[in-house]
Amino acid sequence: MIKTVDKLTKAEAAKELERLAREIAEHDRRYHAEDAPAISDAAYDALKRRNDAIEARFADLVRPDSPSHRVGARPSEKFAKVVHARPMLSLDNAFSDEDVADFVARVRRFLGWKESDQLIFTAEPKIDGLSASLRYEKGVFVQGATRGDGSEGEDITANLRTIKDIPLRLQGEVPRVFEVRGEVYMTHKDFFALNARQEKEGKPLFVNPRNTAAGAVRQLDPAMTAARPLHFFAYAWGEASAMPADTQWDMLQTFKSWGFKVNPLIRRCESMDEILAFYRHTEQRRASLGYDIDGVVYKVDRLDLQERLGFVSRSPRWAIAHKFPAEQAETVLLDIDIQVGRTGKLAPVAKLKPVTVGGVVVQNATLHNEDEIARKDVRVGDTVVVQRAGDVIPQIVRVVLEKRPRGAKPYQFPYKCPACGSHAVRETDEKTGKEEVDRRCTGGLICPAQAVERLRHFVSRDAFDIEGFGGTYIETLFEKGLLKEPADIFRLAKKPEALDRALAERRAELSAERRAREGKDEVAKKSKKDDDSKLVENLLSAIEARRKIGMDRFINALGIRHVGETNARLIARHFPSIEAFVGAMESDDAAAQLNEIGGIGDVLAQAVKDFFDEPHNRKLVDHLLKEVEVVPLAAPKIKGSPVAGKTVVFTGTLEKMTRQEAKARAESLGAKVAGSVSKNTDLVVAGPGAGSKLADAQKHGVQVIDEGAWLKMIGG
């Protein structure tokens, strides 16, 4: 049984946050980087809600790789990179009227406002498309980019120029530099017309307007983008040399005067009643709008208040997305398939009779773990309710018990790994004595499923990012004995003939049926042989291009449990070189050294130490370091910030701003705000009523200043 958040122990919460961080990160990658979501919006939102609820209860367990810190996925290597001068962050979600009321209350509390103080919001439909940022210099469109991971996106300027809704030159007076942000989307009418043409020409049909629009703007050939009817709504901004208005509403009116399309449904709301009335009205009109929306966005109207409210991790405090309920449908559960993951986790996947839900055909669903199967009492042959999917894996909501066939038996979760036959066990938490929710294979490296998945992770986008080195190649080379550990990838250059032969054999096997259908053509055979040779050449070139790798990617690629992209970056910034890191991990106080890093907790530190305590892993790392050059990661710098990189503690009563606002301001300037004073503290800001923290500062010789000096230091 999956426990409710209020029943979780601290140890269970830590384990659950680790699972959620890993699972949500994978869904982010699929959605943002591949335009191929694997679960429904509702299922994704449910994961996020559970993560947020656990973090709210166990604030000290918030992970550095928490989904609440993270946006999107890394941009594709197909395009040049664009570093956003102002991050493109996403919004927190609300799923009920109560969530919206809580959001408004949080805004008032942060600002120190009373209920009687008028707080105006803008409300706008949330377009289901692809976010884009358009940079204008002296009124001329010079660069367009995707959101990417929020900090760095893909340069799709040429493709965006083909969209008629995007003006190439702005009208009227405009700032010297201004980035307009909004959503690229496709109307229902254009989508259906496009699919009609596809069907007439015997080509595959597109899944839905959102994926079609996203795929169109990420084409390598702009002519392909121009062939798709795309549109653009402007609703936000990034870098700006000057601001032409003081409110969100007036900014949108300015966008219209410059030549942009702004959603005509946007309204100003002066009360909760008006906000919720707009939501209800928009939800009723949803089906007749002619384009997809998945909710309503509320934003604090005054820009000076937006500036004060600022941001928390991945989202602004001054805006929230009020999501619509998910669509559902019934289908039959045909079977339950057990897949073995990179860490040995046995993951049950429901195989469904194909069903169309909201225009998307779905036939697989995740069942998470054996406790989830038991909780819902899911049995093969059952009729189940599935929730609207992105385009592959939806969420099973419940079983329709009245339609259960006679003789349907409770599902027995396997006790042996289907990949290698080793025992599959549920580990016991040493602190609580309770079983973990996941059952894992004990086979380790002898398990082909784990070995292949570990290698897949190694070459993946967030790790070594070896272009073109997909799962099929890894499986083939593993089966042929050419690939057993990561270092073997870089040794392939010494075995080009064996590589060529292995890939050619695999391609021949996979294409046998297709060749039988299309006939045997000698010219085609020769062309295929040439293609195989070119494939090997390209693959070896891609491998050679990754012999020099950033230290954060190197650490992430090792596949250490609990270490993801964010944690790897924290570790890489702490140690001056990979040699220093590896050497530190061989010392007796390795875990203690890791604990000194802000954001690294006991669980993660112990996991890293355990990894390096294993002789096989040390051997793997040593082999790899002989093949690649690891480049240290430079710490980020914030220009003009006098507190960047410093640890600051606030104590006592602040009179000019709330404690929450002071903390947010310090973090935005690159400082780390701590809750207690230690020898590592750089500065204490003390107001009236400062107590033990002031004494601790004096004990450790830490500089102490008052609020006025702090404001003068940071510039007001």
In whole angstroms, how far apart are CA 702 and each of 335, 690, 693? 64, 15, 10
Q: Nearest to residue 217, comparing CAs of 170, 156, 155?
A: 156
Secondary structure (3-state) at 512: helix
Q: Nearest to residue 255, comparing CAs of 153, 157, 183?
A: 183
Is residue 536 a contact partner of residue 498, using CB atoms and an 8 Å limit?
Answer: no
For residue 385, with 0-12 CB atoms within 10 Å meaning exposed, 13-18 middle and 19 or more buried, which class applies?
middle
Q: How many CB atoms lie within 10 A of CB 415?
A: 11
Tell me which H or E stretch contains 179: strand 177-185
Q: What sections of 290-367 are H helices per DSSP?
A: 303-309
Q: Nearest to residue 557, comparing CAs of 545, 573, 546?
A: 546
Per the structure block, which two tokens stand in for 181?
């942000």
Q: From the candidates 48, 126, 345, 672, which is the catalytic residue?
A: 126
DSSP strand pairing (293-300 vs 121-127): antiparallel
Is residue 339 a contact partner of residue 329, using CB atoms and an 8 Å limit?
Answer: no
In whole angstroms, how far apart are CA 283 and each of 265, 295, 307, 319? 12, 8, 30, 19
Name residue, tokens 């820009």.
Answer: 303
Phi, psi of 464 (to 5 degrees): -75, -20
Active site residue 15: no
For residue 223, with 0-12 CB atoms within 10 Å meaning exposed, 13-18 middle and 19 or more buried, which class applies?
exposed
For residue 418, with 0-12 CB atoms within 10 Å meaning exposed, 13-18 middle and 19 or more buried, which class applies?
middle
Cα separation, 349 vs 345, whole angstroms: 12
Is residue 182 a contact partner of residue 234, using CB atoms and an 8 Å limit?
Answer: yes
Residue length of the chain = 716
DSSP strand pairing (440-441 vs 424-425): antiparallel
DSSP structure class, residue 210: H
Is residue 342 a contact partner of residue 454, using CB atoms and an 8 Å limit?
Answer: yes
DSSP strand pairing (267-269 vs 121-127): antiparallel
Name residue, tokens 């169309």.
Answer: 356
Is residue 111 a contact partner of residue 70, using CB atoms and an 8 Å limit?
Answer: no
Cα separation, 32 vs 36, whole angstroms: 8
Cα torsion 90, 95, 98, 104 to 10°: value is 20
Name residue, tokens 């954001």.
Answer: 599
> 3-state secondary structure string, 565-616?
HHHHHHHHHHCCCHHHHHHHHCCCCHHHHHHCCCCCCHHHHHHHHHHHHCHH
Catalytic amino acids?
A: 126
